[in-house]
Amino acid sequence: MGQPPEGEMPRHLVKLTGVETQVEAEVIISMLSAYGIYAMLAWTGRGEPLTINDVDADLEDARTLLSAADEQN
């Protein structure tokens, strides 16, 4: 894995939200991607909810988009 350019902070994946279905996860990830925000699905397969992880630097933007989407529904 490469190093970030000098002076740039490394980015880490952090939990954005949990969802119950893979379809819901794919819709959220697709929406975030449309806004240029990287997110990925994490699932342990042990009956736990699916987790959507996001890059820490984009966390606040991703939360804002999810909140706005929830208000519209």
Domains in the chain and their CATH numbers? Answer: 13-72 (3.30.70)
Instruction: Please state, in angstroms and rounded to a whole number, the distance separating the CA atoms of residues 34 and 66.
Output: 13
Residue 20 DSSP label = S
Three-state SS at 15: strand
Contacts of the segment 22-30: beta carbons below 8 A, 24+ positions apart: 22/50, 24/50, 25/50, 25/52, 28/52, 28/66
pTM above 0.95, yes or no: no
What is the chain's pLDDT, residue by residue, as a tens digit (73 residues)? Answer: 344 445 555 578 899 999 988 899 999 999 999 999 999 998 877 777 889 998 889 999 999 999 998 888 7
